[in-house]
Amino acid sequence: MSSPTPVRLQVTHRFDASPERVFDAWLDPEKASRWLFATATGRMVRAEIDARVGGIFNFTDRREGEDVEHVGQYLEIERPRRLVFTFGVPKYSPVNTRVTVDILPLGSGCQLTLTHEGVLPEYVSRTEAGWGMLLDALAKTFG
């Protein structure tokens, strides 16, 4: 029996903020802890970022008494246009995937395209919805 083929998905979002502000929100632990991997029912108890190529991050969201870690390593950091990192949630899967964030200037704001590679088929719709929710939360931090 073969394992399911991982999927590549994309989510796009427009922001009324400069590419620099949007990019920096991914790498500032204080800002990122308000939206990145945060849930409405959880509480962010750890937000650590070593913002350099080879550096790692750990966001731990406490949900109903359980800690859920979101971890990864930065592969590319090209401010303010591109960020690439590995991504995993060890509590739910040993698999690490790859996320690419591309930011393009657009008028007075920008457009962000997030590409998530290696997503298992059974997680595609939930992952797509999750990124959409997180990018909406990011947009609210600029309001």
Please report whether residue 1 resides in a domain: no
Q: pTM of this prediction?
A: 0.94
Phi and psi at residue 103, in whole multiples of 5°?
A: -120, 125
Classify the C-alpha dihedral 143-12-31-133 as positive or negative. positive
How many CB atoms neighbour CB 32 within 10 A?
23
Q: How many whole angstroms separate alpha carbon 143 and alpha carbon 133? A: 16
Q: How many whole angstroms separate alpha carbon 25 and alpha carbon 135? A: 11
- The parent domain of residue 81 ranges over 7-140
Please report whether residue 103 resides in a domain: yes
Structural domain tally of the chain? 1
Please report whether residue 21 resides in a domain: yes
Span 104-131, pLDDT tens digits: 999 999 999 999 999 989 889 999 999 9
Distance of CA 139 to the CA centre of its chain: 13
Span 37-69, pLDDT tens digits: 887 788 999 999 999 999 999 999 998 889 999
Please report whether residue 13 resides in a domain: yes
- pLDDT bin (cut points 50, 70, 90) of residue 1 is low
* CATH number of domain containing 126: 3.30.530.20
Please report whether residue 2 resides in a domain: no
Please report whether residue 68 resides in a domain: yes
**Contact 54/48 with Cβ under 8 angstroms?**
no
